[in-house]
Copies of this chain bind each other. A is one copy, B any other.
Amino acid sequence: MSQEKTAEINLVVSGRYLVTDSQNVLEQENISVAVSKDRIVEIGDNLAVKYPQAQCLSHAHGLIMPGLINTHTHAAMSCFRGLADDLPLMEWLQEHIFPREAQLTSEIVYQSTLLSLCEMIRSGTTSFNDMYLFAKDVARAAAASGVRAWVGEVLYDFPSPNYGELENGFTYTEDLFEQYAGDDLITVTVNPHSVYTCSPSLLERMAAQAEEKQALYHIHLAENQDEVHTCTERYQCSPVQHLETLGLLNERVVAAHGVMVTEEEIKLLVERRVKIAHCPESNMKLASGVAPVPAMLAKELVVGLGTDGSASNNDVDMFGEMNSAAKLHKVDQMDPTVMNATQTLHAATLGGAAVLGAEAAIGTLAVGKKADLIMLDMNQPHLTPVYNPVSHLVYTAGGGDVFHSVINGQVVMENRQITTLDEVAIFTEMKRIGEMIQRMGQ
């Protein structure tokens, strides 16, 4: 590591606890991580003294950990947060969400994504995997924020409020790939909406595009019983079986939800190297069901956590998602030992990185990895005393406990001030957009 150690150190982050990954915690005064450009180059004792020229983010009671990775969201849906809740699924979608989504604009998606990005930064998320309309605007917002993003334009059989006719969707996605080729922070993905909104030929054509681009194939899969019914009616098989029959299950598939999967299908998903984005809070709120995550983990299926969109959560706080995931599976299985704190933190960090095929670059803190890290203030009543920091991260901490955030070596939040985005301006825009969206329903 001598070459890296002699590189210029831009930043030192120093605290009391260092969670390098879900299984390893150090407690030591002034335990530090040194960053050069976009990478971690040294982890050790009191590096602020060793590198006095570097910017230093320090806290006597700070806990340094890998940034959280949100493997499935629709960031721009923050514009629908709390607009309609507690309704039957089809009434919610058909009367409240779809009519408004049909009127979305490039600008609404851009501003609403910025709003979610403020929330992500404030709650410790450093990477997210987004599926939505107007993906160029999602990517533009992500680029402005400095948050690491996987972004794709959602395609389905019917015309889109963004690109219009389906054929234009492919052109739009091609443009995205071109625009972000080689980008440090933004990776373009291919996003068929689901097996019930995409014909077999659309699913196949998009799979070919994903293969050509070596991109992720991000799809809602086996989210609820309705999807299973529809798929069975049309194709005489389950959603997972349908993709298998089409020959589309492979290592590029990121399957969001995976609620309705059988033991046999879990084995198949493992064989095909499919990854799961588990969204417990959305599955709870929409009454979709409980994904069999303990069974998935027992079979070593790769599982990350996701928040889904803010219309069905209603936030993008991954700390809350960890808390819900760990507790939900215990009561669902009537076994307090399942989905333990270590497994849950793994799903929100390295597990999520593996879902996105980025486990070599992010998800843990180690020399040579990208500098995507956050610091929490542990000197708070709900985090006192500290017997096991990993327990606190899963069962007690909230997004509001994060006070510094670094992504790709850039400080995106310092002392709870976001450095990359103008929150006041975004709030003002979102109030205007909120009024507009409310009027759309009248």
Q: How far is the CA of A286 from the CA of B330 in the complex (A)?
A: 7
Q: Specify how many copies of this chain sit in the oligomer.
A: 2
Which of A86, A289, A323, A431 has most B Cβ within 10 Å?
Answer: A86
Contacts A315-B395, A331-B290 given; does A431 touch B285 at CB 8 Å: no
Q: Does A340 contact B (CB under 8 A)?
A: yes
Q: Does A201 contact B (CB under 8 A)?
A: no
Q: Hey, which chain B residues are within 8 Å of A395, CB to CB? A: 82, 85, 285, 313-315
Q: Does A298 contact B (CB under 8 A)?
A: no
Q: Does A81 contact B (CB under 8 A)?
A: yes
Whether B284 lies near A82 (C-beta < 8 A) is no
Whether B396 lies near A82 (C-beta < 8 A) is yes
State how many angstroms separate the Cβ of A291 from the closest Cβ of chain B: 11
Q: Please report whether the interface of chain A is mostly helix, strand, loop or mixed according to DSSP.
A: helix
Q: Hey, which chain B residues are within 8 Å of A313, CB to CB? A: 395
Whether B381 lies near A118 (C-beta < 8 A) is yes
Contacts A315-B382, A324-B324 given; does A287 touch B82 at CB 8 Å: no
Q: Does A309 contact B (CB under 8 A)?
A: no
Q: Does A182 contact B (CB under 8 A)?
A: no
State which of A30-38, A212-220, A235-243, A385-393 sits at the interface with chain B: A385-393
Q: Does A180 contact B (CB under 8 A)?
A: no
Q: Hey, which chain B residues are within 8 Å of A118, CB to CB? A: 381
State how many angstroms separate the Cβ of A246 from the closest Cβ of chain B: 29
Closest Cβ neighbor of A398 among chain B residues = B398
Q: Hey, which chain B residues are within 8 Å of A423, CB to CB? A: 381
State how many angstroms separate the Cβ of A425 from the closest Cβ of chain B: 12
Give 7 A-B contacts (CB < 8 Å), ordered by A residue. A82-B386, A82-B396, A284-B328, A313-B395, A317-B382, A384-B430, A385-B434
